[in-house]
Amino acid sequence: MAKSAEDLIRELEAGGVLDRGSAPARAAPRAMRSSGASTPGTKPSALLFVVLAAVVIAVLGSLPLVSTGLYPFSLFVTLVHETCHAVAAALTGGRVDSLKVSGDLSGVTMIAGGARALVDSAGYLGAALVGAALLITPLRYARWAIAALAAIPFADLLLFHPATLFTAVWCVVFLAGLGLAAWKLPLRFMRFLQIFLGVSCGLNAFRDLMTLFFISSSGAHIHTDAVAMSNVVPLPATVWAVLWTLLSLLLLGGALFGMAKRDLKNWRGAA
């Protein structure tokens, strides 16, 4: 005997083929998974990554042998510092004759012309600005942020004339490493790398500014960016060291505040 339409529907429901009450609710998560979207509760916390990165840097930095693992990141911040000098010179009509980073994490950029006040200020403030930009950029753009960083060693190789083989080799290493990371690294690791590089730039810029302050206040006859700046704008080198430190803290503090505000909004949305 042929089954009625109602009998067929009941059998399909009993077998799980049809589910009148929950079909729409099940369809939405599948659609979200297929598109790569995430719900508010699954968004990664940028502030948590900052704390984790700071702990990793503090722990590794306190271990004599393991601390060498942080050397490439510190050298990259030096490269960022010198590149910011070069970019400021190029944008204000100057000429970059050469750019050099050394194994002791020092660096020098030979420049002719340009707006000297901007060029001399660009190193420390530029490194802090790069760190703040990495921290405040939403983590969903991590791949683009890392790819943008690769433009720094690329510009140094192409435009700013590496002065030594050491400088050129490390520019190639950074370009290849950042490019490969942006291309192949899974997004969850890419997000942490973005924050880790941002924290590294911020902490190293602050450390270098503290060193600059002690050198400037000691009266030692060492040519620094603050001394060069005092020759352009007649204020003591110590004043410039303090001013750059305050501006860097303002940049990094503003980035952290923006991250905290964004995380709080995400948490409220998930509640």
Is residue 37 one of the residues assigned to a domain?
Answer: no
Q: Of all residues in the chain, what percent carry a pLDDT higher than 90? A: 58
Q: In which band, very low, low, confident or very high, does the pLDDT at 12 lie, cut at 50, 70 and 90?
A: very low
Give yes or no for a contact between 212 and 236, defined as CB atoms under 8 angstroms apart: no
Instruction: Please indicate whether residue 265 or residue 144 has the higher confidence score (pLDDT).
Output: 144
DSSP state at residue 40: G
Mean local confidence (pLDDT), 165-192: 95
For the segment 70-85, what is each residue's pLDDT rounded down to a tens digit?
899 999 999 999 999 9
The reply to whether 32 falls in a domain is no
- Total number of domains constituting the chain: 1
270 domain residue, yes or no: no
pLDDT at position 20 is 45
In this predicted structure, the answer to whether residue 211 has a pLDDT above a threshold of 70 is yes
Q: What is the pLDDT of residue 151?
A: 96
Residue 104 belongs to a domain: yes
- Looking at residue 54, its pLDDT comes to 84
Instruction: Using the predicted structure, report yes or no on whether residue 269 has a pLDDT greater than 50.
Output: yes
Higher local confidence (pLDDT), 111 or 214: 111
Taking the C-alpha atoms of residue 176 and residue 181, their distance in angstroms, rounded to an integer, is 8
Q: Can you point out the beta strands (E) in the chain?
A: 95-101, 107-112
247 in any annotated domain = yes
* Burial state string for 191-211 with b = 16 or more CB within 10 A and e = fewer than 16: bbbbbbbbbbbbbbbbebbee
Instruction: Give burial (CB, 10 Å; 0-12/13-18/19+) of 28.
Output: exposed
Residues 6+ apart with CB under 8 A from 252: 128, 131, 132, 135, 202, 206
Read off the DSSP letter of residue 16: T
Residue 12 lies in a domain: no
User: What is the residue range of 182's domain?
Assistant: 45-264
**What's the average model confidence in pLDDT over 172-189?**
94
pLDDT of residue 24 exceeding 50, the answer is: no
Q: Is residue 20 part of a domain?
A: no
Query: Does any domain span residue 1?
Result: no
- If one compares 216 and 129, the residue with the highest pLDDT of the two is 129
